[in-house]
Structure 1
Amino acid sequence: MSETPWLTIVGLGEDGPEGLSPASLEALAQADIIMGASRHLNLLPDLTGSKITWPVPFADGLPILLSHRGSQVVMLASGNPFWFGGGSVITRYLKPKEWRALPAPSAMSLAAAALGWPLERTQCFGLHANPFAQLRPHLFPTSQILATMRDGAAVADLATWLAAKGFGATQIHVMEALGGLRQRIRKVSAECFNLSDVAHPVCVGLEIVGTGSIVPLASGRPDNLFQNDGQITKRPIRALTLSALAPCPGEHLWDIGGGSGSIAIEWLMAHPTCIATTIEVKPERAAQICENAAQFGVERLQVVIGSAPTVLEGLDVPNAVFIGGGISHELLKTVWNALPSDARLVANAVTLEFEALLSQWHHSKGGELLRIELANAQPLGRKRGWSSTFPIVQWSVSK
C-alpha cells in the first residue's frame, strides 16, 4: 500500500462532517494539524488534531501550511476544492505525491440541483474575488449564470451593477448555505433587490433579462463599446486585423500603439487563456485602455507605458504582433528579430511613407499585402453619396 501523502484536502459541506466519505472522516481523525476557515473549523467535532484558522488574505496561509510538511495535515475547503476553490493554488507548490484531495459536491453542483439547471450548459463564475465585469460578454436574454459571491453585500452590489447595465429585470436566485441546515433560497429581480440579511456563504443564480447592449461574439465589436479619444482601430479594420492576427488558445500578443486597446481586448476575448501586452506612449491613453479592459472583464491585459522599440526589451516572447502606429524600419527590425518561428506580424499603415516601408518589407519577407478602401454612405444635398475613408495598407506575414 502506498504511503499516505502528508496533505489531504477535504471538501466540506455546510452540514459539516455529515455526509463525508469514510476516507475524509479517517483523514480528519488522524490529522496532526487541521487548517481551514473559522466557519469550517466550527463545524467540526472535537478532534485530536490542532486547529489553525486560515488567515485573510488567502495567500498568507500558504507559508503556514507548508511549514507543517512532515505532519499529517488536513486542509478544509468548501465543496470541491478544484471548482472555483483554492485547491489549485495550493498544489502548485507541492509534488504530486505530497497531496490528495477528497472533494464534496461543489456549490455550483448544489445550486444547479436546487434550481434544476443543466450544469453543462450554465456559465459558472467565481465572483468572490473577481470583478463583475467578467459577466459582461454573457449578459443576454435567456442566459443562465451561477456565481459564488464574497458576501451578502456583494449580492446587493451585483444587483445594482446589473441594473446599471440595462439588465435590471434579471431574476436573482439568492442561495445561502447550500446543503446545510441554514440553507435558504430566495428570488428577487435586480432592479427591486431589497434583501438586507443575506448571509455568507452565498452564491447566486442569474436568469438574464433586460434591454442592455449585448456584446457580439464576432471580432469587430461596435466602436462605441470602447472609450476612446478618436485613436481607435475602427470596427471593419479591426475585424480584418484580428482575422489576420488569428488568435489561438494560450497565445501572447504584442499590441504596439494601443490607442483604445480595442485590438488587445478583442484578442483576449477570443479565449480565456489568451494573453496580451499593449504598448502605449501616452499615460492618459494607457489609463483609458485599462478602463476598457475592466469593462470587458479582461483585466489580465498588461499595459506598458513607453515608446517602442525601447520598451519591448524584456517582454515575454509573443506569438503575434500588431503594429498600429509609429511604424519605422528600426521597429520592424526589432519586432522581426523578437518573433519566434511561425509567429505572426500584422502592421497597418495609413501614410504613403509607412506604406512604402511595408512594401519594402513585404518584398523582402513575403506574406500578404492588402489595400483596404472603405466608403460610407453620407448625405449629399437631398440625396446620399459615398464618403471614402483614407485607404489602409495591411501587411501580414508568418515568420
Structure 2
Amino acid sequence: MVGKWLAIVGIGEDGLQGLSAIARSLVDQAEIIVGGDRHLAMLPSNDERHKITWASPISNSVAEITQRRGQAVCVLASGDPMCYGIGVTLTKQIPLSEITIIPAPSAFSLACARLGWSLTEVETVSLCGRPPALIQSYIYPGARLLILSAGKDTPGIVSKILTQRGYGDSKITVLERMGGTQERIVESTAASWNQTDIAALNAIAVDCVADFGVLCLPRIPGLPDNAYHHDGQLTKHEVRAITLATLAPIPGELLWDVGAGCGSISIEWMRTHPRCGAIAIEQNSTRLQYIADNAAALGVPNLQIVAGKAPNSLQDLPQPDAIFIGGGVTADNLFDICWSVLKPGGRLVANVVTIEGEQTLFKWYEKVGGNFTRIAIQRAEPIGKFLGWRGMAPVTQWIAIKSSAINQ
C-alpha cells in the first residue's frame, strides 16, 4: 500500500505567505516541486530541491510525476486545482487515496468578490487551451459570464465575438493578477475594447447586453432553421426538437450523428450540456465545412467531425450512448454495426422520408423491436392574398433501446 505521496496545493498571487499552515507544511516537506515558471519563481532563490516545470504536451509532465510515485511530490497550482485545473487531470491518473488537495480561492470566487456577483448565478468557462468559440453557447441577454483567459489577447478575442454576435454594448471587466499587489481592473464595452497592455494572468467578466433586434438563440433543442448554414439537408426545427427529445441526452453522454448533413442534431445534442459529446459522420465535403462552421458559430467547436461514408467510417470510434441516423439507412450492414457498438441502455433513433427507408426500418424493428412515430408538420403560407396550410414531407421516426441481452 502506498500512502499519500502527492500534494496539490493551490497558490494565489500572494505567494507562499498566503498559504495556510497545512498547505505550507506540504510545500516545505516535499522532495520534488512541480509547477509553472510563475509558481516556481515564488520559491526562495536558495531552494535546491528538484523542480519539474510543466512541459508541452502536459501529459509528459504527468508521466514524470507518476514515475515519482512514493516520493514526496508537491504540485503548485493556480487557485483551486479542481476548477479547470491540473488537479482534474492528475486525479484521473493517480488514485485519490494517494493525493492531498489543498485549494486556494478560484479566479471565479475572487472575481465574484470583486464584482459583487453570486457565483451560483453566473456562467463559468475556461478558454485556457480551449477554442474561444466555446463562449458562443453561453451568450444570451442578461447573462453574466466569468471567463478564464488563455493570455493577454483573450479579452480582445472575446470582445470581437460579442460584437459580431450583436452584443457590442456588453460590459467587459478584465481582472488582472487578483489577490496580489499588482491587481488591476480594466473596464470597457465589447464594441469599444481597445486595450493592449493587459497582463497575461487575467480573468474576464461579461455582463451581456444584446443589441436591439438581435437574434437570441434558446438553450433548448429546436433552434431556428436560419441559425444554420446548409444546402437543404437540414432536419427542420420542429422535427429536430422531437428528435432530440427522443434521443434524450444526459450530461456526459456521447452521440453518433450518422449522415449528419449540416450537423444540427449533434450540435444541439452538445448544446444541452457542456459535458455532452458528439461525433458527426458525413461524406459530402461541402457539408463537412457547414458542420465545422455551424459548430463554431453555435458554441460547440469541440464537435468531432468524421469524413466518410457509413458504415465504413464508423470503425474505431468511441462507443456511443446514443446513435442518430438521419441519412443512408439503406446502406448494407449499417444497422448491425451500429447496434453492436451501442451501449446497453443506449438509444438508436432513425428518421426517414421514403418508402424504401420505412421498409428498412421495419426490418430493423423485426430484429429488436422499438417504436414508430409519424411526424407530420404543416406551416401556414400565403396562397394568393390568403393563408393556407402547406405540409412538409412526413417523417417516420423509429427508436429502439438496447436494454437487455435479448436484443443485443
Q: Same fold (TM over 0.5)?
A: yes
Specify the code of the residue in structure 2 equivalent to 1:250.
Answer: G
Q: 5 Å matches for 1:117-156?
A: 117-156=117-156
> Could you list the per-position Cα deviations for residues 15-42 of structure 1 after superposition, in whole angstroms to 9, with x for gaps in the alignment?
1112211122222222322222222222
Q: 5 Å matches for 1:249-328?
A: 249-328=251-330
Q: Is the 8 A contact 1:131 1:297 kept in 2?
A: no
Q: Is the 8 A contact 2:141 2:216 kept in 1?
A: no
1:3 Cα deviation (Å)? 8.4
Per mean C-alpha deviation after superposition, the further-off stretch among 156-165 and 380-389 is 380-389
Specify the code of the residue in structure 2 equivalent to 1:199.
Answer: A
Q: 5 Å matches for 1:368-387?
A: 368-387=371-390
In structure 2, stretches of 5+ residues that fail to align are: 403-408
Corresponding residue number in structure 2 for 1:344: 347
Inter-CA distance 248–381: structure 2 relative to 1 (3 Å threshold)? same
1:363 Cα deviation (Å)? 5.5
Q: Is the 8 A contact 1:319 1:339 kept in 2?
A: yes
Corresponding residue number in structure 2 for 1:203: 203
Q: Could you tell me how far apart the structure 2 residues matched to 1:192 and 1:346 are?
A: 47
Inter-CA distance 28–338: structure 2 relative to 1 (3 Å threshold)? closer
Corresponding residue number in structure 1 for 2:405: none
> Could you list the per-position Cα deviations for residues 346-392 of structure 1 after superposition, in whole angstroms to 9, with x for gaps in the alignment?
22111222223334544564432222222222222222222222222
**Correspondence for 2:237 among 227, 235, 238:** 235
Is the partner of 1:160 in helix, strand or coil?
helix
Q: Could you tell me how far apart the structure 2 residues matched to 1:3 and 1:334 are?
A: 44
Per mean C-alpha deviation after superposition, the further-off stretch among 20-29 and 340-349 is 340-349
Corresponding residue number in structure 1 for 2:42: 43
Q: Could you tell me how far apart the structure 2 residues matched to 1:88 and 1:334 are?
A: 34
Inter-CA distance 152–261: structure 2 relative to 1 (3 Å threshold)? same
1:314 Cα deviation (Å)? 3.2
Per mean C-alpha deviation after superposition, the further-off stretch among 139-148 and 282-291 is 282-291
Q: Could you tell me how far apart the structure 2 residues matched to 1:4 and 1:246 are?
A: 42
Corresponding residue number in structure 2 for 1:391: 394
Q: Is the 8 A contact 2:52 2:61 kept in 1?
A: no
Is the partner of 2:18 in helix, strand or coil?
coil
Is the partner of 1:230 in helix, strand or coil?
coil
Q: Is the 8 A contact 1:31 1:48 kept in 2?
A: no
Corresponding residue number in structure 1 for 2:21: 22
Is the partner of 2:80 in helix, strand or coil?
coil
Q: Could you tell me how far apart the structure 1 residues matched to 2:157 and 2:69 are?
A: 41
Per mean C-alpha deviation after superposition, the further-off stretch among 101-110 and 272-281 is 272-281
Corresponding residue number in structure 1 for 2:406: none
* TM-score, structure 2 as length reference: 0.90
Specify the code of the residue in structure 2 equivalent to 1:395.
Answer: W
Q: 5 Å matches for 1:358-377?
A: 358-362=361-365, 365-377=368-380
Inter-CA distance 335–10: structure 2 relative to 1 (3 Å threshold)? closer
Q: Is the 8 A contact 1:257 1:278 kept in 2?
A: yes
**Correspondence for 2:359 among 350, 356, 371:** 356
* TM-score, structure 1 as length reference: 0.92
Inter-CA distance 32–335: structure 2 relative to 1 (3 Å threshold)? closer
> Could you list the per-position Cα deviations for residues 94-147 of structure 1 after superposition, in whole angstroms to 9, with x for gaps in the alignment?
233432122211111111111111111111111122222222222122211111
Q: Could you tell me how far apart the structure 1 residues matched to 2:246 and 2:75 are?
A: 48
Specify the code of the residue in structure 2 equivalent to 1:384.
Answer: L
Q: Could you tell me how far apart the structure 1 residues matched to 2:363 and 2:58 are?
A: 54
Inter-CA distance 356–99: structure 2 relative to 1 (3 Å threshold)? closer
Specify the code of the residue in structure 1 equivalent to 2:353.
Answer: V
Q: Could you tell me how far apart the structure 2 residues matched to 1:309 and 1:292 are?
A: 24
Is the partner of 1:243 in helix, strand or coil?
helix
Specify the code of the residue in structure 2 equivalent to 1:183.
Answer: E
Q: Is the 8 A contact 1:293 1:299 kept in 2?
A: yes
Q: Could you tell me how far apart the structure 2 residues matched to 1:67 and 1:330 are?
A: 46
Q: Could you tell me how far apart the structure 2 residues matched to 1:24 and 1:327 are?
A: 59
Specify the code of the residue in structure 2 equivalent to 1:373.
Answer: A
Q: Is the 8 A contact 2:132 2:158 kept in 1?
A: yes
1:253 Cα deviation (Å)? 1.9
Specify the code of the residue in structure 1 equivalent to 2:398.
Answer: W
Inter-CA distance 63–377: structure 2 relative to 1 (3 Å threshold)? same
1:84 is aligned to 2:75: no
Q: Could you tell me how far apart the structure 2 residues matched to 1:50 and 1:306 are?
A: 49
In structure 1, stretches of 5+ residues that fail to align are: none
1:7 Cα deviation (Å)? 2.1
Inter-CA distance 391–51: structure 2 relative to 1 (3 Å threshold)? closer
Specify the code of the residue in structure 1 equivalent to 2:244.
Answer: L
Specify the code of the residue in structure 1 equivalent to 2:163.
Answer: A
CA RMSD, aligned part only?
2.3
Q: Could you tell me how far apart the structure 1 residues matched to 2:142 and 2:59 are?
A: 37
> Could you list the per-position Cα deviations for residues 244-296 of structure 1 after superposition, in whole angstroms to 9, with x for gaps in the alignment?
21222332222111101111111112222322222212233223212222223
Specify the code of the residue in structure 1 equivalent to 2:8.
Answer: I
Corresponding residue number in structure 2 for 1:219: 221
Corresponding pairs, count: 398
Q: Could you tell me how far apart the structure 1 residues matched to 2:38 and 2:392 are?
A: 63
> Could you list the per-position Cα deviations for residues 67-108 of structure 1 after superposition, in whole angstroms to 9, with x for gaps in the alignment?
444432221111111112111112322233432122211111
Q: Could you tell me how far apart the structure 2 residues matched to 1:179 and 1:215 are?
A: 36
Is the partner of 1:17 in helix, strand or coil?
helix
1:31 is aligned to 2:30: yes
Is the partner of 2:17 in helix, strand or coil?
coil
Q: Is the 8 A contact 1:79 1:105 kept in 2?
A: yes
Q: Could you tell me how far apart the structure 1 residues matched to 2:375 and 2:246 are?
A: 13
Inter-CA distance 70–363: structure 2 relative to 1 (3 Å threshold)? closer
